[in-house]
Structure 1
Amino acid sequence: MAGFKRGYDGKIAGLYDLDKTLGRGHFAVVKLARHVFTGEKVAVKVIDKTKLDTLATGHLFQEVRCMKLVQHPNIVRLYEVIDTQTKLYLILELGDGGDMFDYIMKHEEGLNEDLAKKYFAQIVHAISYCHKLHVVHRDLKPENVVFFEKQGLVKLTDFGFSNKFQPGKKLTTSCGSLAYSLRLLTCSAARW
């Protein structure tokens, strides 16, 4: 496809042409991509499996399980999972308006109150829906709320720390380690 670079693995399973980087995480990079037959733009979370330890692999599979379960108008859709020897590709719905963190940084005046109420209600509906399915997101922050301006929506994304819970039972988690939590806080604070 014209305008799409052939670097960074070029195509995924012959179906998606990868383009520019949209974001980076600890073990993943999110790329813009286009379906070679339909031309539809998507976001592709590319996870390098060779860099994952047992704990991170468990988080990854939990993320995929939770994302397959949650299907809501205010949650970014997981369209497809492509698993190769060294990489896992999560094909995701692409927002057209960036994330809430970027919006906040660009607009000192913020949103008008009516629009802020509308978006806040959408986030609350998405969280409530997840909780009804016994899924907790565990990483709610402006970077994980994406604008879909043409649809007039915001959607939750990045279920990398999500987990399933059983009502009435304590949620056991590997994120309970103080050192691990402090490392995550330090990485997040560095972006602020």
Structure 2
Amino acid sequence: GIGREVLGSAPPPHSARCLSPPDAATMAGSQGCGEGKIAGLYDLERTLGKGHFAVVKLARHVFTGQRVAVKVIDKSKLAGEAAGQLLQEVRCMKLVQHPNVVRLYEVIDTHAKLYLILELGDGGDMFDHIMRHEGGLAETRAKHYFAQIVHAISYCHKLHVVHRDLKPENVVFFQEQGVVKLTDFGFSNRFQPGKMLTTSCGSLAYSAPEILLGDEYDAPAVDIWSLGVILYMLVCGHPPFQEANDSETLTMIMDCRYTVPPHVSAQCADLISRMLQRDPKQRASLEQIEGHAWLQGVDPSPASRCLLPLTSHKRVSKEEHEIILQAMMCGNIADRDTIQE
């Protein structure tokens, strides 16, 4: 997966519609194989991030002008395992529809490439935000963000989806909506309660000890550990386990050795300690985290109570509005009066 792939806010560019591979391939081919335009729908702009087999680009919907993030996957570089992982990412993102999870609007499949059209945030990622606050964020602000992350992961786990790569780089700010959202489900997977997983994945500084040991592990518990690391970083300004080299970092994680600075409240330190437990069975459940004293009185899902629609005709100019109306009428979606209503 690509860590910082979604950096900003765009509402749905149009009603979600997956093009069938032949149509998409034909349309992309007519526009120069998608070098500057995807399937006649999106103009590609600057690159936001790169991975082994994918590039994430900023793009603009040709009719509405709305901006999105597009994950461009080179299908020729997808070996068996990578292809399976990508398919799992798409399945999990389609399944997880939550106000605190970056939305996958549609998937466009062409002969050579696969395009994932993603919601674009407008405020950068949480890692950069933390790095701008030496010593960490104020706890009132940290609570506001952390409660939303916990709310999103709780939703994922109820759908039996484990993220497995939770870290501040994969939490994106949506300032216009006033929320944070999870992204990069490249290591996500479905799990059966009580059944162990075996795949080793994630980033060293955020990974649970059992994953690093290569043991079988309980899926939800590895996300709980990573939540503990994220909360520590929010209030302390640096990771709990980060030494001069990977070997020393690994030893610190295995021994569960970390130090909470004195400016962190006792309640917050207690919550961190309940998540950063060496034994997965001793870690707090999501219900216990949500019910912890430190998080009381915090709205875990301000996005779900937002009165503003995710998209609006007010966002586009009169000329663009007329083009959209004409396109919808030509497509026999409805007559002008019905569309305008």
TM-score, normalization: structure 1?
0.84
The Cα shift of 1:118 comes to 0.6
The Cα shift of 1:26 comes to 2.4
The answer to whether residue 181 in structure 2 is matched with residue 149 in structure 1 is: no
**Correspondence for 2:84:** 58
**Correspondence for 1:138:** 164
Deviations 1:46-96, CA, capped at 9 Å, x for gaps:
111111110000000000000000000100000000011111110000000
Give the whole-Å Cα distance in 2 for the aligned partners of 1:178 and 1:117.
31
RMSD (Å) for aligned C-alpha atoms: 2.2
**Residue ranges of structure 2 left out of the alignment (5+ in a row):** 1-31, 202-210, 215-245, 247-341
**Correspondence for 1:185:** none
Match of 1:116 among 135, 142, 160: 142
Indicate the structure with greater strand content.
Answer: 1
Deviations 1:112-148, CA, capped at 9 Å, x for gaps:
2211101000000001100000000011111110000
**Correspondence for 1:37:** 63
Indicate the structure with greater helix content.
Answer: 2
Q: Which moved more, 1:47-56 or 1:107-116?
A: 107-116
Letter in 2 for 1:131: H
Give the whole-Å Cα distance in 1 for the aligned partners of 2:65 and 2:135.
36
**Residue ranges of structure 1 left out of the alignment (5+ in a row):** 1-5, 180-188
1:55-94 mapped onto 2 (5 Å cutoff): 55-94=81-120
Identity %: 80
**Correspondence for 1:19:** 45
| Count of aligned positions | 175
Give the whole-Å Cα distance in 2 for the aligned partners of 1:141 and 1:177.
16
The Cα shift of 1:167 comes to 1.0
Give the whole-Å Cα distance in 2 for the aligned partners of 1:177 and 1:110.
27
